[in-house]
Amino acid sequence: MSAVIWHDIECGSYVEDLPLWRSLAASHGDPVLDVGAGTGRVTLDLAAGGYRVTALDRDPALLAALEQRLARKSEIVRPLCQTAVADAREFDLGDTRFPLVIVPMQTIQLLGGPDGRAAFLRCAHRHLTPGGILAAAISEVLELYEVIDGEPAPLPDVREYDGVVYSSQPVAVRADGEGFVLERRRETVGVSGERTVEGDLIRLDRLTVRGLEREAEAAGFARAGRDRVPATEDYSGSEVVILRRG
């Protein structure tokens, strides 16, 4: 359950990219494959718009939370969503094909470098309809920083669940060889005042728009455009690479 809570706290409130995914679904149709779907931030939004969506994630706990949320939706929305527990680098959904595959929130930069991305691109290519579209959000550059005691720090994301207060505070973005490391401080305060503190690290591969386009071309894709999701006070902006299956 804690993985679901932290995922919701740190990712669930992000909405700036939703208009772009809606626009792509309107242009290219459904079903849509949402890669790295988590607890359904994008999947549920698209389903609310009437689109059929398959939510793919390697964490079964996150998809179980999505299914619980679906159970509370209307009879119109519930049948529009399916879930698939699988790693993005080796998924096989049988004969299912999609006119649109989306990869929000830098998920493609979590795949372990060029080999991991190449494996994902092969899977995505196999599951797209001829001429289908793959759209992936990346961050080419991240602003580096580190919180030092006594200096201003980013505000934490805070929520309460069943009397327990959860706080997640960004404390650093560091360059790390061929990538970036994002560090957060996770803290809980229980109903009786008991407190836990732990760190969480996420590593993003360094990746450019042109670099991803070259890798995709080697996997049988053609460039089909670019878009952008603007930055906010809490989230970095994203470049969205749009690719067409050859």
pLDDT in tens, 13-46: 999 999 999 999 999 999 999 999 999 999 999 9
User: Residue 233: what pLDDT?
Assistant: 80
Q: Where in the chain is the domain with CATH 3.40.50.150?
A: 2-140+207-245
Reading the block at residue 172, the tokens are 């650093």
Contact 63, 35 (CB under 8 A): no
The pLDDT value recorded for residue 137 is 98
* pTM, two decimal places: 0.95
Mean pLDDT throughout 90-97? 97
CATH fold, domain 2-140+207-245, is Rossmann fold (3.40.50)
pLDDT digits 0-9 by tens, 143-176: 888 988 767 778 899 999 999 999 999 999 999 8
- pLDDT at position 86 over 70: yes
pLDDT for 1: 66
DSSP 129-149: EEEEEEEEEE-S----EE--T
Which CATH code for domain 145-204? 2.20.25
Give the pLDDT score at 47: 97
> How confident is the model at residue 246, as a pLDDT?
85
Task: Encode pLDDT of 221-234 as tens digits.
Answer: 999 999 999 988 87
Which part of the chain has CATH 2.20.25?
145-204
